[in-house]
Amino acid sequence: MEQREYVFCCPGCNQVRDQDSAVLLRQYSVRALYLPFFMCRGCRLIYYDKTLIRQTISRWRNSPCSPVDYPYREICAEMKKYIEKIIEYYCRTASYKRAKFIKKLI
């Protein structure tokens, strides 16, 4: 199956935004997990894509150094809670607002 590539555009200014990553170190793994999210500093908007988070977790789990016996649903729930905390922090302290970024096929 062919892998499709997307870019994420800010809904306010309609410009392509680069991915930022939250680094997460877990006790049960020797590898760090980089959770992707998107920010537009001009419009003060922030967004994370659930599908992209799931794909990141799947790639991380399929790597040789990841914990195979740790349940996928628990990892997803833990990572979602972690990224939600980060986005909530930006909304609370830097006056960012949540918005769904536009996903465009390249």
Q: What average pLDDT does range 23-27 have in this prediction?
A: 77
The per-residue pLDDT for 28 is 66
- Banded pLDDT at 1 (limits 50, 70, 90): very low
- Per-residue pLDDT tens over the stretch 78-89: 889 999 999 999
Stretch 16-40: mean pLDDT:
84
pLDDT of res. 71: 81
Residue 49 pLDDT class (50, 70, 90 cuts): very high
- The answer to whether 24 touches 79, Cβ cutoff 8 Å, is yes
Confidence of residue 67 (pLDDT cuts 50, 70, 90): low
Q: CA distances (Å), 3 to each of 49, 55, 82, 89, 105, in order?
A: 17, 12, 27, 33, 11
Strands 97-98 and 45-47: parallel
What is the band of 106 on the pLDDT scale with cuts at 50, 70, 90? Answer: confident
